[in-house]
Amino acid sequence: MSDTVEIFTDGACKGNPGPGGWGALLVCKGVEKELWGGESTTTNNRMELTAAIRGLQELKRGCDVLLVTDSEYVMKGINEWMVNWKKRGWKTAAKQPVKNADLWQQLDEQVNRHQVKWQWVRGHNGHAGNERADDLANRGVDEVRGMRPAQAAR
């Protein structure tokens, strides 16, 4: 693992559930790559998870990653809850299925490919990387709502 990549992620939803978008800004050695997308019916938490997954998936080889998110749900899930969910076969302490288990499992798979350090930032607080990720997530929402032409290549 040599290259250090910063990934700024965000999710957005207009209604919860409703049309949603995700955005990820990858920065490595001064080079930036923007990723975004959306779904017509989803939740904010699913979009936050998708942003992190898609950002990590974009990396073609193992990297040292600083992943910056404003999602307390993602931070608590990855740092506190996931270890016990896995021990219990993706069940909560109340023996209920974990919400968004499909995405948590994908995130776990991606995290295991890299050395990931997680950082939480307060959303909509002027953090440049987070603001860019928020803009990308809203672009994803606008595209699925037909308010902005879809981009052919991401």
pLDDT in tens, 69-121: 999 999 999 999 999 999 999 999 999 999 999 999 999 999 999 999 999 99
Strands of the 115-120 sheet, one edge to the other: 31-42, 18-28, 4-13, 64-69, 115-120
- CA–CA gap between residue 36 and residue 104 (Å, rounded): 19
Of the candidates 39, 134, 142, 143, the residue annotated as catalytic is 134
Name the pLDDT band for 1 (thresholds 50, 70, 90).
very low
Known catalytic membership, residue 124: yes
For the entire predicted model, the pTM comes to: 0.93
3 is in an annotated binding site: no
Cβ atoms of 12 and 140 closer than 8 Å? yes
134 is in an annotated binding site: yes
Of the candidates 6, 39, 48, 143, the residue annotated as catalytic is 48
10 is in an annotated binding site: yes
Structural domains of the chain sorted by starting position, each given as residue range(s) with its CATH number in brackets: 5-145 (3.30.420.10)
108 is in an annotated binding site: no
- CA–CA gap between residue 119 and residue 97 (Å, rounded): 27
Secondary structure of the chain in HEC code, one letter for each residue: CCCEEEEEEEEEECCCCEEEEEEEEEEECCEEEEEEEEEEEECHHHHHHHHHHHHHHCCCCCCEEEEEECCHHHHHHHHHHHHHHHHCCCECCCCCECCCHHHHHHHHHHHCCCEEEEEECCCCCCCHHHHHHHHHHHHHHHHHCCCCCCCCCC
99: left (phi over 0), alpha (psi -120 to 50) or beta: beta
pLDDT tens digits for range 28-51: 999 999 999 999 999 999 999 999
Name the pLDDT band for 124 (thresholds 50, 70, 90).
confident
Known catalytic membership, residue 102: no
Known catalytic membership, residue 3: no
Known catalytic membership, residue 131: no
Of the candidates 6, 39, 70, 142, the residue annotated as catalytic is 70
